[in-house]
Amino acid sequence: MKNVALYFSGIVFFFLMFMHIVRYIKGWEIVIAQHNIPLDWSIFGAIVAALIAFWMFVAARK
């Protein structure tokens, strides 16, 4: 059961990485409490999400 949770988490973080990349390419704006979130943060978010997804998939294989 632990492996299923790790694989699911990996898929979720992979999806987040994908959405950060799409946001960066399409130039979608995100506004939170009247503050624009810079597109550059999506690059950082994609890298972090990719690393966590990789970590989850590796942990699930052990």
Is the distance from CB of 51 to CB of 13 less than 8 angstroms?
no
pLDDT of residue 11: 98
| CA dist., res. 26 & res. 28, Å (int) | 6
Q: What is the pLDDT of residue 23?
A: 97
Structure tokens at 50: 């990719």
Domain locations along the chain = 2-61
For 1-52, the pLDDT digits (tens) are 789 999 999 999 999 999 999 999 999 999 999 999 999 999 999 999 999 9
User: Looking at residue 28, what is its pLDDT?
Assistant: 95
pLDDT score for 1: 76
The pLDDT of residue 46 is: 98
At residue 2, the pLDDT reads: 80
